[in-house]
Every structure is written in C-alpha cells, then in structure tokens.
Amino acid sequence: RKEVEQDPGPFNVPEGATVAFNCTYSNSASQSFFWYRQDCRKEPKLLMSVYSSGNEDGRFTAQLNRASQYISLLIRDSKLSDSATYLCVVNRAAGNKLTFGGGTRVLVKP
Amino acid sequence: EPEVTQTPSHQVTQMGQEVILRCVPISNHLYFYWYRQILGQKVEFLVSFYNNEISEKSEIFDDQFSVERPDGSNFTLKIRSTKLEDSAMYFCASSERVLNTEAFFGQGTRLTVV
C-alpha cells in the first residue's frame, strides 16, 4: 500500500461549483498534514496545514479523519485560477521527511 | 516575503559528469531538504539535513549523492556521476521546525542528463 494515496483525477469542475477530494495515508503515526498546490512545472506551494479540528481558509476547507486515516480538501466557489494539482503531504512522527501523494488534478472550466 | 532560492534554474550535463545544485534556504530556518520530481511523477524525498548533518535519507540518495552546507547560507546537492535517470526537477526546501510546520520550496532546478 502506498504511504500517501490520492485520486489523480482530473476533476473537471464548472466555475463557481464546489469540488472535494480525499487523500489516504498508511502510517497511523503520522503527525502533520498539509495540502500543497502545484502548478505545471512549478514548485509545490503550501495551500494550508490540516489540523485535527478541521480548518478553513477562505474558500478552502480541510478535514482530518485520524480513525480512517484520510484528509480531505473542499474548494467552494471554484475559480479558473484554482486549476492546479493538489498535493497531499504527510509528515511522520519520527524524522523530518515529508511524504507526498501523487496529486489530484483539478481543472476549473468556464 | 522570504523565499528559498535555487540556482541554476536549468542545468544540462553529460552522463557521467558531476553536478552541483545550489540552494539558499530561508535565513532563520533550521531544517533543509532536497526533493526531486521526475516529469509526470510525484515529488520524492531525497534527504533532510539538520545541525550540519544528514538526519534522514531515502533509498534514492545513494553514494552518488551528497549534501553540504559550506557556509551559513548555502545548501548544496552534489551528484557525482550523473545518469540519464537523474534527469528531474530538483527542489530544495527549508522549514523552521521539524513537526507541525510547513516546508517552503524553492523554484527548482531542472536537471537534464544527456
């Protein structure tokens, strides 16, 4: 089983719609969780950290479910500029190594 | 806004040659990383570095790879004898702490081995 697994997509989303997708992780000892955004051939950029209680940043909402070992990202009122690959990133308790999922591609269309 | 900077942005090298990729992490960060991304594939961890030594490395980071912090600002990745399969985007990253803190990535160095 892969350490961090994501649906590669693409998720084709009409502008203004809501899209949500999950990421599962295999190591129950994982401590830190993040969503990064990556545009084509660019570096990953932090979108948001994911906290146990769930957190929201504008149109973006992240949730963590430790029991089922997944995190989710929801994007409301999608903009054309939200088109990107969204990377699920997990940090274990021991060591300092971020493990990336393969990414979920989102395409927002007019 | 502070950022991680990498040079060069693109490096073309012949198979068997040595390359050094350079990074300047964010100044108050203590943890440094190298990642790579082969075209069309996921971002893969190579090595983490703290307190002037490697704290963790992946199976990709074999004897052909080395890292160094030669002074107070630079962090380098050396590949001793490049292979075709080393062609990838190499990202440097830094973070303030090890857990529950985000890592910030440089814009990457695209390495092409011919």
Residue whose structure tokens are 């002037």:
B52
Tokens of A58: 């504008």
Cα-only R_g, chain A: 13
Stretch 26-85 of chain B: residues touching chain A, C-beta under 8 Å: 31, 33, 35, 41-45, 48, 50, 55-56, 58
d(CA A28, CA A51): 15
**Chain B residues near residue A32 by CB distance under 8 angstroms:** 99-101
Tell me the nearest-neighbour CA distance from A86 into chain B, angstroms: 11
For residue range A4-30, list pLDDT tens digits in order: 999 999 999 999 999 999 999 998 888
Tokens of B35: 């990642």
Pairing label, strands A60-65, B109-113: unpaired
**Chain A residues near residue B56 by CB distance under 8 angstroms:** 95-97
- Cross-chain Cβ contact B56/A96 below 8 Å: yes
Tokens of A73: 């990202």
For residue range A50-106, list pLDDT tens digits in order: 988 889 999 999 999 999 999 999 999 999 999 999 999 998 766 678 899 999 999
For residue range B26-82, list pLDDT tens digits in order: 998 989 999 999 999 999 999 999 989 999 999 999 999 999 998 878 999 999 999
Which has the closest alpha carbon to A19: A33, A27, A9, A32? A9
Which has the closest alpha carbon to A65: A92, A28, A102, A99? A28
Tokens of A12: 């084709």
